[in-house]
């Protein structure tokens, strides 16, 4: 009798699909919130599911099985996306990622490399139900479900579940850390909260965004005559080549594996010219295109989504526009299609005169979704020579791509023989891809010398974003990183990218120990070229002349994170339970960052958001 009663209850879609959701919530908890209470995840996750199930019982009683299956598929896909996204980026994906659905086919290799077979377990029930649809008894059972459950019971469940969901969101709305918000609100509740938070974000009056306000928040002094700065105008009139390296991290430089240098070309450049070893990425959901945005505008990335998609329609103040006023011609080079990441609009917004994309570079020597870096540099060098023959200096940005995730470059491109312990690892593939990147840079330099551009140009060389997220490394891979770097791989290594300023005959061997970020490239270059930015709103600083820095972080770290001169601060629920990860690799502590820095970092982001979002649209 008891088993019969249990069978009756389990045959009810509300109960049956609730049990399925419990399993899926638990699976997501294992991957994303491994240290969180399983009961907390279920207690916050199930009420939001029940709200939807109650609506089904009210609105679709006659077709409830089909609607339950559709809602199950939708929720399952949300959980699957959260798991996949977290495994690489370490963030909770929200509806903003829907903007990027069109990019998936371009980066399918990266997507498939992140797909662990056990992630697909979350879809097992859906596959089973689809197969059961061919069974007559199952279809007959589905027809018997077209009855309304007791209205009082469903109403009570709805009210209680909605109340619990609202309380889960309300009590954790002030938490800064998005991961902690999702953990304590529940994933579905957090998705709803993200929609509301995006629509109700506070915007500062853009007239309050002034150089003085920015300098005060950054803790730096204004008022110095820019012409009194060190290296002011040292490179005046030179051609500028801004070389953005795909997924290149700083730990690669000046390190060896079994005595062999990983990046011999970059090593030599770092020893003979200006080198900034404490330099950090500031990108978000747009990754490479975000780096292009930050470097060319000295603004921070938007709070949600990619800069190219959120800001691509705006008339952005930028380095190309500033230099065009100084008589420069401007161009950008990238072997992918210009439509990828809405770059066509971004390049209009930034003000490049010309762009060169897949149409220009052709289909020779393909690596991933574009021609190899060797093709990129060879054709770019020839085009730069043509530009120089006009008699006007040029500002060019060159975007490398061959070392793109998942880093498994073609066998013909592998030049670095790794020991067996690196076989089949993401770290091993990454090192071989970056070694090829380094080789191609050497070929580019030789071509610039042949064309007579080497001595007349300055190269700004930097990484666009991290390549090896902590979240996606196995224990073996973490041990390999420790072997290479000499200490545990932490946030301070993960976000650290190289910056070199290479101007033959002008930049002597010099290591700058100060902290910097991608937002600082524009003002630093402006100083070297002798161009004043005093009348331009920008959030970076000249890191040759200003030693103290505060770099707000977003996306790859929770909101409220920042880089200061001691390390990287990451908040917990708020500032009080946050930790600073020191640059020297010792254990994280609570003593190297202040609440004042935390507040100022958040305010800097808010000012940038307010200023940029109020800019006029471009033509």
pLDDT tens profile 335-384: 988 777 678 899 999 999 999 999 999 999 989 888 999 999 999 999 99
Q: Is the pLDDT at 266 greater than 90, yes or no? A: yes
Q: Which two tokens stand for residue 383?
A: 């085009």
pLDDT in tens, 406-427: 899 999 999 999 999 999 999 9
In this prediction, residue 10 has a pLDDT band, given cuts at 50, 70 and 90, of low
pLDDT at position 284: 92
Query: pTM for the full model?
Result: 0.90
Radius of gyration of the chain measured on its C-alpha atoms: 27
Domain with CATH 3.40.720.10 in the chain: 208-613
User: How far lies 221's CA from each of 239, 276, 541, 608, in Å?
Assistant: 30, 22, 11, 19
Q: Is the pLDDT at 128 greater than 90, yes or no? A: no
pLDDT (mean) for 488-501: 94
pLDDT (mean) for 240-256: 97
In this prediction, residue 111 has a pLDDT band, given cuts at 50, 70 and 90, of low
State percent of the chain over pLDDT 70.
Answer: 91
Q: Which two tokens stand for residue 216?
A: 């005060």
Which pairs with CB-CB distance under 8 Å and at least 24 residues apart come from 587-595?
Answer: 588/490, 592/564, 592/566, 592/567, 593/562, 593/564, 593/566, 593/567, 593/569
pLDDT (mean) for 542-550: 94
Distance CA 106, CA 569 (A): 34
Distance CA 504, CA 492 (A): 31
In this prediction, residue 114 has a pLDDT band, given cuts at 50, 70 and 90, of low
pLDDT (mean) for 66-81: 90
Q: Is residue 560 within 8 Å of 600, Cβ to Cβ?
A: no
pLDDT (mean) for 122-145: 72
Please state, as a whole number, how many other Cβ atoms lie within 10 Å of the Cβ of residue 544: 24
Q: Is 530 left (phi over 0), alpha (psi -120 to 50) or beta?
A: left
Q: Is residue 302 within 8 Å of 284, Cβ to Cβ?
A: yes
pLDDT (mean) for 315-330: 97
What average pLDDT does the chain have?
89
pLDDT at position 198: 78
Least confident residue range of 110-114, 150-154, 191-195, 560-564: 110-114
Q: Which CATH number fits domain 208-613: 3.40.720.10, 3.40.250.10, 3.40.50.300, 3.50.50.60?
A: 3.40.720.10
> Which has more pLDDT, 120 or 417?
417
Give the sign of the dihedral formed by CA 605, CA 606, CA 607, CA 609.
positive
Q: Say if residue 334 carries a ligand binding annotation.
A: no
Residue 330 is a catalytic residue: no
Q: Is residue 19 within 8 Å of 74, Cβ to Cβ?
A: no
In this prediction, residue 40 has a pLDDT band, given cuts at 50, 70 and 90, of confident
pLDDT at position 379: 98
Distance CA 567, CA 553 (A): 12
For residue 35, what are the contacts with CB-CB under 8 A and spacing of at least 6?
none
* Active-site option among 94, 248, 288, 507: 288
Least confident residue range of 111-125, 149-163, 306-320: 111-125
Q: Say if residue 464 carries a ligand binding annotation.
A: yes
Q: Say if residue 404 carries a ligand binding annotation.
A: yes
For residue 597, what are the contacts with CB-CB under 8 A and spacing of at least 6?
550, 562, 564, 569
In this prediction, residue 8 has a pLDDT band, given cuts at 50, 70 and 90, of very low
∠ CA(337), CA(340), CA(341), 5° rounding?
Answer: 150
Look at strands 394-399 and 457-463 and give their pairing.
Answer: unpaired
pLDDT (mean) for 527-554: 95
Q: Is 385 left (phi over 0), alpha (psi -120 to 50) or beta?
A: alpha
């Amino acid at each position: 009798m008891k088993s019969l009663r249990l069978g009756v209850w389990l045959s009810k879609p509300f109960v049956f699909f609730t049990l399925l959701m419990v399993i899926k919530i638990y699976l997501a908890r294992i991957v994303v919130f491994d240290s969180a209470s399983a009961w907390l995840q279920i207690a916050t996750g199930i009420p939001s599911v029940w709200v939807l199930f109650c609506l089904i019982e009210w609105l679709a009683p006659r077709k409830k099985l089909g609607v339950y299956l559709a809602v199950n598929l939708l929720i399952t896909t949300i959980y699957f996306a959260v798991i996949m996204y977290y495994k690489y980026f370490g963030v909770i994906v929200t509806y903003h990622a829907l903007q990027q659905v069109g990019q998936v086919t371009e980066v399918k290799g990266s997507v498939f490399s992140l797909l662990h077979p056990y992630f697909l377990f979350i879809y097992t029930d859906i596959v089973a139900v689809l197969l059961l649809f061919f069974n007559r008894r199952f279809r007959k059972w589905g027809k018997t479900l077209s009855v309304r459950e007791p209205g009082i019971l469903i109403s009570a469940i709805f009210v209680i579940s909605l109340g619990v969901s609202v309380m889960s969101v309300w009590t954790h709305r002030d938490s800064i850390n998005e991961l902690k918000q999702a953990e304590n609100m529940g994933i579905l509740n957090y998705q709803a909260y993200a929609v509301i938070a995006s629509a109700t974000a506070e915007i500062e009056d853009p007239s309050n965004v002034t150089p003085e306000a920015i300098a005060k928040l950054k803790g730096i002094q204004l008022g110095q005559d820019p012409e009194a700065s060190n290296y002011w105008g040292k490179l005046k009139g030179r051609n500028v080549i801004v070389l953005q390296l795909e997924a290149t991290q700083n730990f690669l430089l000046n390190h060896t594996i079994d005595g062999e240098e990983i990046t011999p070309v970059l090593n030599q450049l770092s020893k003979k010219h200006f080198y900034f070893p404490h330099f950090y990425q500031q990108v978000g959901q747009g990754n490479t295109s975000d780096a292009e945005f930050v470097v060319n505008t000295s603004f921070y990335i938007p709070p949600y989504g990619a800069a190219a998609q959120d800001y691509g329609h705006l008339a952005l103040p930028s380095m190309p526009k500033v230099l065009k006023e100084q008589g420069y011609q401007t161009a950008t080079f990238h072997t992918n299609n210009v439509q990828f990441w809405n770059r066509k609009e971004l390049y209009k917004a930034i003000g490049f005169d010309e762009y060169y994309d897949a149409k220009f570079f052709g289909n020779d020597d393909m690596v991933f979704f574009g021609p190899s870096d060797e093709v990129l540099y060879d054709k770019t060098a020839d085009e730069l020579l043509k530009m120089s023959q006009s008699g006007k200096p040029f500002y060019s940005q060159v975007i490398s791509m061959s070392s793109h995730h998942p880093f498994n470059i073609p066998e013909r491109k592998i030049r670095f023989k790794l020991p067996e312990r690196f076989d089949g690892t993401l770290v091993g593939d990454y090192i071989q891809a970056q070694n090829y990147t380094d080789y191609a840079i050497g070929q580019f330099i030789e071509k610039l010398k042949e064309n007579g551009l080497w001595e007349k140009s300055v190269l700004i060389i930097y990484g666009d974003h991290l390549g090896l997220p902590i979240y996606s490394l196995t224990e073996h891979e973490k041990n390999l990183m420790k072997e290479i770097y000499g200490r545990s791989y932490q946030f301070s290594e993960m976000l650290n990218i190289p910056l070199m300023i290479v101007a033959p005959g002008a930049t002597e061997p010099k290591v700058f120990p100060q902290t910097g970020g991608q937002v600082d490239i524009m003002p630093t270059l402006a100083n070297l070229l002798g161009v004043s930015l005093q009348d331009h709103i920008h959030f970076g600083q000249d890191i040759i002349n200003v030693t103290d820095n505060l770099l707000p972080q977003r996306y790859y770290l929770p909101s409220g994170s920042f880089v200061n001169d001691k390390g990287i601060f990451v908040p917990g629920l708020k500032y009080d339970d946050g930790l600073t990860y020191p640059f020297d690799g010792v254990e994280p502590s609570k003593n190297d960052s202040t609440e004042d820095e935390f507040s100022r970092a958040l305010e800097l982001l808010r000012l940038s958001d307010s200023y940029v979002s109020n800019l006029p649209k471009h033509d």
